[in-house]
Amino acid sequence: MTQAAASVDEGDPRLRRFEARIAAGEKIEPGDWMPDEYRRQLIRMISQHAHSEVVGMLPEGAWITRAPSLRRKLVLIAKVQDEAGHGQYLYHAAETLGADRDELEQALLTGRAKYSSVFNYPTLTWADVGMIGWLVDGAAIKNQLMLAQCSYGPYSRAMVRICSEETFHHKQGKEMVIAYAQGTPAQRRMAQDALDRWWWPAVMMLGPHDSDSPNTPLLVRWGIKTKTNDQVRQEFIDEHAPELMEAGLRIPDPDLRYDEETGHWVHGPIDWDEFWRVVKGGGPMNRERLEARRKAWDDGAWVREAALAHAEKRRARREAARLAAE
């Protein structure tokens, strides 16, 4: 039994009613009773997701001033703005569970909270920006479509909105990569190089194998997740492997093959040592990503203070108006 499962009081009658609601397809809302472990797991997942959206702006944001055309620059600006909005939706969803946004941010800045491992890799060329859109956003959409069915209402609704925007990002990224794959020899080499560097990080970003994911059984039991890591990863590979090959690109997995019996693509061994090294802070860009986020947090202090002061003035005016009306 995992530590998470051990913390659940199986004899609590409220738990049985809670699980019956989930089994019936009902959404759990902020004011409803929920097990402490359900709340804890959701805050962990949602905050990690929110951090990933915000940190995920950095690899592509660095290319805004270097985009090859005005159209591409506008598309990239819109995408980065979308990611910022996604982070806000998700932080708000975490707040509905009683989480404090400042505490969540401090957990990120001090390394106690995690974000997606894939954002700790550098974007060396413009083709990398396209590959992030096609592969990273493609993997994210597979995960988010699953989370749109989450049993917790605010998280589910945030995912529905985010998925609609991520689909646009995915389409744009795919378009960019295919244009390079069908372009000049130099552009084709650039697209292939980007795929060689981003394929495995995208495959790994969907999480460890189910056998190495101790939280998965409880998350599935409570409908926080409706599919396991390996199931979502299989969906990602089944969709993207044939599309990449059709574009004339070579997937950097010599063991990748199509299984006629199962109708699925079978991938080779994943370098989980690299995955865990990156998760624990040893990736190529871990330090730079956190330093950039820390600087943005510090530089934005005056904005947060001004927003709080404005909110307090509005509250005081409403209270004064209420008293005057009595």
Residue 76: which CATH number? 1.20.1260.10
Q: What is the pLDDT of residue 9?
A: 78
Count of structural domains, the chain: 2
Residue 270 lies in a domain: yes
pLDDT at 6 over 80: no
Q: What is the pLDDT of residue 11?
A: 79
Q: What is the pLDDT of residue 264?
A: 98
Q: What is the pLDDT of residue 297?
A: 86
Same domain for 226 and 216? yes
Calpha distance 192→251 (Å, rounded): 9
Residue 164 lies in a domain: yes
Q: 234-252, pLDDT tens digit by residue?
A: 999 999 999 999 999 999 9
Q: What is the pLDDT of residue 300?
A: 85
Same domain for 298 and 267? no
Residue 5 lies in a domain: no
Calpha distance 81→91 (Å, rounded): 16
Same domain for 325 and 310? yes
Query: What is the rounded (10 degree) CA torsion for 218, 41, 32, 104?
Result: -170
Where is pLDDT greater, at 215 or 10? 215
Residue 238 lies in a domain: yes
Give the number of C-alpha atoms closer than 13 A to the C-alpha of residue 27, restricted to the C-beta side. Answer: 13
Residue 75 lies in a domain: yes
The predicted model gives 187-195 an average pLDDT of 98
Same domain for 130 and 73? yes
Residue 3 lies in a domain: no
Same domain for 309 and 244? no
Residue 216 lies in a domain: yes
Same domain for 187 and 315? no
Same domain for 131 and 15? yes
Q: 63-107, pLDDT tens digit by residue?
A: 999 999 999 999 999 999 999 999 999 999 999 999 999 999 999
CA distances, 88 to each of 52, 76, 114, 146 (Å) = 12, 19, 17, 20
Question: Domain of 295?
Answer: 285-326
Q: What is the pLDDT of residue 4?
A: 54
Same domain for 211 and 139? yes
Same domain for 176 and 52? yes
Task: Grade residue 2 by pLDDT with cuts at 50, 70 and 90.
Answer: low
> Residue 256 is which amino acid?
L
Same domain for 298 and 279? no
Residue 269 lies in a domain: yes
Question: What is the overall mean pLDDT for the chain?
Answer: 93
Q: What angle do CA 55, 50, 128 make, to 5 degrees?
A: 35
Task: Grade residue 197 by pLDDT with cuts at 50, 70 and 90.
Answer: very high
Q: What is the pLDDT of residue 5?
A: 52
Q: What is the pLDDT of residue 326?
A: 78
Same domain for 295 and 277? no
Same domain for 90 and 192? yes
